[in-house]
Each structure stands twice: as structure tokens, then as C-alpha cells.
Structure 1
């Protein structure tokens, strides 16, 4: 086990085409978002480079970019560390998420189609199965897909662009509470689908607002907080 906390071979060598620094950045960001790299964890350039099969330069560039975006903290004479979000940071982000997604739910209900509702129901089926199988990674990924689909059905490109800017951070905060939210979260999704299918704009908005508020509250009450 290396000090980065990743078993040897856990991260595949980067072989896809495209700018190397961008691929390194995306890989590290995904590892942080999914908490394979935990908040507060020391990130050693040479070890990350070894995991990824690249030189230290693109790793250094990626860490600098991640620092600029608030995912990584660069500490003088100590190195790079995964950022540890404060309660205030989480509260601000999840509050903004509530505003964006409540409006998206309203718009989705306004223009609901049977095909769109069916897609939401299929995602809900998958999420409930993941909860039953205790597959937290799949729960988190499917939850993100479900909310992205609601945003897509809203049909507002500006709203979708704003939501995309906070999506990865939402996943970051949702991962440690996904197990606690469990079946209740997906029951709330079912209620939301029903409101969207009924073209109940205000009902969909209220349900989504309450749903995202429950996640925010659970995050603040999480174990180890």
C-alpha cells in the first residue's frame, strides 16, 4: 500500500488519446470525487505518477489545477493534500443545489413526456437495486444520473450548465451519506416521478426541494462529523 492509499494496480495506466495533463487531471478528480482519495489524504507526486504510468510533470500540473479549483490544498514544505471541506462549504453548495434542482423539477413536470418518465423510472429501479445490494458506488453514480436526467428533462440549457458546475462536488458530499440516505432517498425519487408524470409543477418543485434538503441535513448529521 502506498501513502496515497491506493493499492498497486488499482488505477489503470493512462492509454487513451488526448492531452496527457488533461487525462491525469480527470483521473485524479474522479478519484477525489468518489473518495478513493480521501479528504486530508497526502498526494505524493512520484507515487501518483507511478500509479498512472506517467512522469511527474503532468501530475504536478494536475495538482496545481486541482488546487486552483479547491479540490487539493498545496501546503508549503508539506506537499499536496486532498481538500477537507468545511461544514460551511458543504452547506453553501448543497443550498445552491436545492435552488437549481427544485426549479429543474418544476420545468421537468411542465414538459413531462411518457418517455422521460419511463427513463426516470428505470433509473429509480436501478438505484433501488443498488441499495438492496449495498453497492454504494453504484448508488452514488445512479443518483447522479437520476438528477442529471431531471435536469435534462427540464430543457433549460443555462440551468443545466450551472448544475453541471456543482455536480461533481455534490457527488463528493453525497458519497459519505449515501448509505444513511438509503431506501428513503429512492422513495423520495418515486414521489418526484409521480409529480412529474402528473404535470404537477409545484408538487415536483416542493418534493425536490425537500429531497435535496434531506440530503443536506443528513450530511451535517453524518457519522464522524
Structure 2
């Protein structure tokens, strides 16, 4: 067990071909957003490099980039630590997310087709199965897929680009409350699919707004 807290084998070693610096960045960011690396956790360059099968240089560069983007805090004479988001940071981001997602739901109700509805229903089916299996990682990933599909069905490229900028942070905040939200979250997804299927733009907007608000409140009320 590494002192960084990563279980052995949690992340496959990176293959050498390709932009290694960017791939190390992506690997570390995925570990942070899925909370394999916990907020406040000390990040030791040498151990991360060994775990990923790379030298320390691309790890150092990735940590600097993550620091610039607010995922990692570089503390003088102490090293790198996973950023601990404040409640205000989370609240602001989840509020913005609610605005984007509500508009996406409205547009999806206006523009979705049969294939899009089928795709949403398949994701809901898989999400409910993940909840039944108590597979939090799968539930979080499927939740992200569901919201990404709604955004895709909205058909607005600018809206999708803005949503993509907050997607990973939404996953970061959603992970610790995914079990708490559980089946209820997927019931809300089912209701939203029905509204989209019925092309009820007003109802789809209302349901998505309430759905994202439930997640925001769950995050605020999470155990500390």
C-alpha cells in the first residue's frame, strides 16, 4: 500500500507512446475526481511516478497543471495535496450546473428522437442495476453518462462546451453523495426521460432543476 493511499493495481501503468505529460495529467485527474485520491491527501511525486510507471518529471508537470486548475494545492516546503473544496466552491459550481442542465433538458425535450430516448432508458436501467449492486463507482459513471446524453440530445454545441467545463467537478462533488442519493436519483432520471419522451419542455426543465437541486442539498448535508 502506497503512503498516498492508492491500492496496488488501482491504475494501470501508462504506455509510453503519446504525449506522456498529458496522459499522466489525465490519470491523476481521474484519480482525484473519482476520489481514489481523497481531498487533503498528500501526493508524493516519487510514489505516483512509480505507481504510473513513469519518471518524476511528467508527474511534477502534471501536478503543476492540476495546481493551476485548482485540483491540487502546492504548499511551500510541504509538497502537493489534493485540493479540499470549500462548501462555497461546491455550491457555486452546482448552482451553475443546475442552470446549464435545466436548459439542456428543455432542449432535449424539444429535439430528441427515438434513438436518443432509447439511449437514456438503457442508461437508467444500468444505473438502477448499479444501485442494486451497491456499485458506487459504476453509478457515478452512469450518472455522468446520463447527463452527458441529455446534453447531447439538446443539440447546442455552446451549451455542451460549457457543461463539459464543469463535468469533472460535478463528478467530484457527486461521488461522496452517490450512495445517499441512491435509487431516488435514478427514479428522478426516469421521470425526466418520460418528460423528454412526451416533449414536455416545461416539465423537463422543472424536473431537471429539482433533480440538480436535490444533489446540491445532499452535498451540503453530507457527513463531514
Name the TM-score, length of structure 1 as normaliser: 0.98
Q: Which residue of 2 aligns with 1:85?
A: 85
> What is the SS of the residue equivalent to 1:40?
coil
Task: Give the distance between the partners of 1:76 and 1:48, measured in 2 at CA.
Answer: 19
Task: Give the distance between the partners of 1:202 and 1:129, measured in 2 at CA.
Answer: 29
Task: Give the distance between the partners of 1:18 and 1:93, measured in 2 at CA.
Answer: 33
Task: Give the distance between the partners of 2:167 and 2:99, measured in 1 at CA.
Answer: 13
- What is the number of residues matched between the two proteins? 224
Residues 145-184 of structure 1 aligned to structure 2 (within 5 Å): 145-184=145-184
Give how far 1:171 is off.
0.3
Q: Which residue of 2 aligns with 1:115?
A: 115
Task: Give the distance between the partners of 2:191 and 2:7, measured in 1 at CA.
Answer: 41
Q: Which residue of 2 aligns with 1:134?
A: 134
Task: Give the distance between the partners of 1:162 and 1:50, measured in 2 at CA.
Answer: 35
Name the TM-score, length of structure 2 as normaliser: 0.99
Task: Give the distance between the partners of 1:90 and 1:46, measured in 2 at CA.
Answer: 31
Task: Give the distance between the partners of 2:56 and 2:105, measured in 1 at CA.
Answer: 44
Q: Which residue of 1 aligns with 2:213?
A: 213
Q: Which runs of 4+ in 1 moved over 3 A?
A: none
Q: Which residue of 1 aligns with 2:56?
A: 56
Q: Give ranges in structure 1 of 5+ residues lacking alignment.
A: none
Deviates more, 1:3-12 or 1:197-206: 3-12
Cα deviations across residues 59-84 of structure 1 (Å, max 9, x unaligned)? 00000000000000000000000000
Task: Give the distance between the partners of 1:164 and 1:42, measured in 2 at CA.
Answer: 28
Q: Which residue of 2 aligns with 1:68?
A: 68
Cα deviations across residues 75-134 of structure 1 (Å, max 9, x unaligned)? 000000000000000000000000000000000000121111111000000000000000
> What is the SS of the residue equivalent to 1:147?
helix
> What is the SS of the residue equivalent to 2:81?
strand
Give how far 1:181 is off.
0.2
Task: Give the distance between the partners of 2:127 and 2:9, measured in 1 at CA.
Answer: 29
Q: Give ranges in structure 2 of 5+ residues lacking alignment.
A: none
